[in-house]
Each structure stands twice: as C-alpha cells, then as structure tokens.
Amino acid sequence: EIVLTQSPGTLSLSPGERATLSCRASQSVSSSYLAWYQQKPGQAPRLLIYGASSRATGIPDRFSGSGSGTDFTLTISRLEPEDFAVYYCQQYGSSRYTFGQGTKLEIK
Amino acid sequence: QVQLQESGPGLVKPSQTLSLTCTVSGGSISSGSYYWSWIRQPAGKGLEWIGRIYTSGSTNYNPSLKSRVTISVDTSKNQFSLKLSSVTAADTAVYYCASLTITMVRGVRHNWFDPWGQGTLVTVSS
C-alpha cells in the first residue's frame, strides 16, 4: 500500500497570503494518478487538481499543483476567505486508491 | 451534469450488514466514461476508499475490507449499491458515493473522483 503523508497537519495563514501544502508518498506515484481535493465542514470533498497539475473544471487559477515521484505540492497563490478548509491528496497505485490524512488550512 | 445521492439506514446493529444505495441522476450509469465508487470517512478523520464497480459489473475492493464488501450495480434503476457485512463500531462513518473518471489525457491514463454525493452518516450501535 502506498502511504501518503501530508504536511503540515495544520497551516495557519491570513487571507491574501500564499499557502504551500505538501504530500509525500511512501513510494513513487505516477503523476497522472495524483489528485487534490478540498473539503469544507459538512460537505463532500471537491476535486481541485488531477494529474498532479491540471485544474478541474471551474477551479480558480490561484490553485496550482506540482511535483513528481514521491513529492507533490498544492499551492494557493493568494488565499481567499473561502479557501480555508481541509485539503487531501489522493493517489492510485497497486490496484487501490489511498488518501493522505489531510492538511487543515485555518485562518490566522 | 451527473449528480449522486446516497440513501440507506443511518443506524446498523453490530454484526449486521450495512446496505447503502447511490442513485445517479443527470446521466446514465451505463456511460462507459465512469466507474462508480464508495468512500468513507469516520468523524474527524481522513478518507478511505472502499471499492469501485464498472457498468459491466467488474469490481475492485480495498484489500483491507475485501472480505466484507460487495458492490453491485442496477443499470435499470441507474443505481449502484454497497453491502458491508459483520459491521462493528469501527465502521461508523460518513459514506460517500463518487463517480470515478478513468480517461486518457494527452495520451496518459488519468483518474479522479468527481463528483461526489453529499454523504450519509451510518452509525453502528446496538
């Protein structure tokens, strides 16, 4: 099983600041199988990024993804109030899908 | 635009079988573009993939749950279902159904979960 470890667990920032979220895999992951999701309280996760760097339909361009191999990053260039949420990375490998434990992005 | 909605009992007794249904609207479940998945999330915790099914009935399950899980599809009702047997308190979670897209993008296979149902809380308790 490929384990995804996200860091930090909690990130405290102010609106307008830049957020950098990390997702590290226990073994190499195909970039095409790496996705990022946003989840707000009481809601289902929402797809943000697929293929490590492609934005899903309707996702603002302040969200960007990068990385390869075992290290992937989600960057939010300039935080808006609605961006404060929990973010998960997800991969497919060895015939199963796994998620990271999440990074909570909170208002400082 | 495809939408998904989970339904089923919110309370299940220990050792019994959890049964949920996901109804797909706005598109045909038989569309070859999608697989259909179940994912769960215990309160305050992360996401766990349970399994997926294709319209042909072909399934894949999370090895950690495989012995207790059955996912099936009913194309006539545009629904797919989850059965999880011998449940314990550890199976208490919000259960989501989701559409799993597996497709070629610029010649490379990609996959992602989108959209998701709103989720349904299932509590295992006597």
pLDDT in tens, B37-91: 999 999 999 999 999 999 999 999 999 999 999 999 999 999 999 999 999 999 9
pLDDT at position B33 over 80: no
CA distance B126 to B124: 7
The stretch A32-42 carries a mean pLDDT of 97
**Which two three-digit tokens encode residue B123?**
């509590």
Distance, in Å, from the CA atom of A96 to the CA atom of A44, rounded to the nearest integer, reads 20
Position B107 scores a pLDDT of 86
Instruction: Enumerate the residues of chain A whose CB falls inside 8 A of the CB of residue B62.
Output: 96-97
**DSSP secondary-structure letter at A56?**
P
For B102-121, what is each residue's pLDDT tens digit? 888 888 888 999 999 999 99
Contact residues, chain A, for B63 at CB < 8 Å: 1, 96
Q: What is the pLDDT of residue A78?
A: 96
Secondary structure of residue A47 in the 3-state scheme: strand
Q: Do A33 and B63 touch (CB under 8 A)?
A: no
Looking at chain B from residue 82 to 121, which residues have their Cβ under 8 Å from any Cβ of chain A?
96, 98, 105, 108-119
Q: Using pLDDT thresholds of 50, 70 and 90, give the confidence band for residue A35.
A: very high
